[in-house]
Amino acid sequence: MSIHTPKKDRKITLSTIARMKGTEPITMVTAYDALFAQLFDGEVEMILVGDSLNMSFFGKEDTLSATMDQMIYHTQAVCNGAKKACIVFDMPFGSYTTPETALANAVRVYRETCAQAVKIEGGEEKAEIIKVLSDSGIAVVAHIGLMPQHVRSEGGYKVRGKDVADIERLIEDALALEAAGAAIILVEGVKGEAADLVTKAVKVPTIGIGAGNSTDGQVLVWSDMFGFFEAFKPKFVKQYCNGAKEIREGLEQYVQEVKSRRFPDDTHSY
Ligand code: KIV
CATH number (domain holding residue 179): 3.20.20.60
- Domain range for residue 164? 14-239
Ligand 1 site-directed mutation target among 26, 28, 30, 223, most atoms within 8 Å of CB: 30
* Ligand 1 atom closest to residue 209's alpha carbon, by position in its atom list: 7
Q: Are residues 227 and 247 in the same domain?
A: no
Q: Could you give phi then psi for residue 160, rounded to 5 degrees?
A: -110, 170
Q: Are residues 198 and 160 in the same domain?
A: yes
CA–CA separation, 58 and 78 (whole Å)? 16
What is the amino acid identity at position 270?
A: Y
- Cβ(210) to ligand 1 under 6 A? no
Residue 39 forms part of a structural domain: yes
Q: What is the pLDDT along the chain (270 residues), one digit of tens a residue?
A: 445 566 567 899 999 999 999 999 999 999 999 999 999 999 999 999 999 999 999 999 999 999 999 999 999 999 999 999 999 999 999 999 999 999 999 999 999 999 999 999 999 999 999 999 999 999 999 999 999 999 999 999 999 999 999 999 999 999 999 999 999 999 999 999 999 999 999 999 999 999 999 999 999 999 999 999 888 889 999 999 999 999 999 999 999 999 999 999 999 999
Q: Are residues 75 and 198 in the same domain?
A: yes
What pLDDT, on the 0 to 100 scale, is given for residue 2? 46
CA–CA separation, 145 and 247 (whole Å)? 34
What pLDDT, on the 0 to 100 scale, is given for residue 224? 96
Q: Are residues 91 and 153 in the same domain?
A: yes
What pLDDT, on the 0 to 100 scale, is given for residue 232? 82
Indicate which residue of 45, 121, 178, 188 is catalytic: 188
CA–CA separation, 270 and 253 (whole Å)? 22
Nearest partner of 88 among 138, 49, 35, judged by Cα:
49
What is the amino acid identity at position 224?
A: D
Q: Are residues 118 and 247 in the same domain?
A: no
Distance 159 CA to ligand 1 centre (A): 15
Q: Are residues 266 and 206 in the same domain?
A: no
- Cβ(90) to ligand 1 under 6 A? yes
Contact 48, 30 (CB under 8 A): yes
* Whole-number Cα distances in Å, 1 to 20, 23, 38, 142, 213: 11, 6, 32, 27, 18
- Cβ(122) to ligand 1 under 6 A? no
Q: Are residues 173 and 247 in the same domain?
A: no
Q: Are residues 101 and 53 in the same domain?
A: yes
Residue 79 forms part of a structural domain: yes
* Whole-number Cα distances in Å, 109 to 36, 70, 88, 219: 21, 12, 10, 21
Q: Are residues 97 and 173 in the same domain?
A: yes
Contact 142, 171 (CB under 8 A): no
- Cβ(30) to ligand 1 under 6 A? yes
Q: Are residues 224 and 251 in the same domain?
A: no
Please confirm, yes or no, whether 100 is among the known catalytic residues.
no
What pLDDT, on the 0 to 100 scale, is given for residue 10? 85
**Helices 68-81 and 99-112, axial angle in degrees (round to 10):** 30
Nearest CA to ligand 1 atom 8: 50
Q: Are residues 74 and 181 in the same domain?
A: yes
Q: Are residues 258 and 227 in the same domain?
A: no
Residue 119 forms part of a structural domain: yes
Q: Could you give phi then psi for residue 67, rounded to 5 degrees?
A: -115, 165
- Cβ(221) to ligand 1 under 6 A? yes
Q: Quote the number of domains for the chain.
A: 2
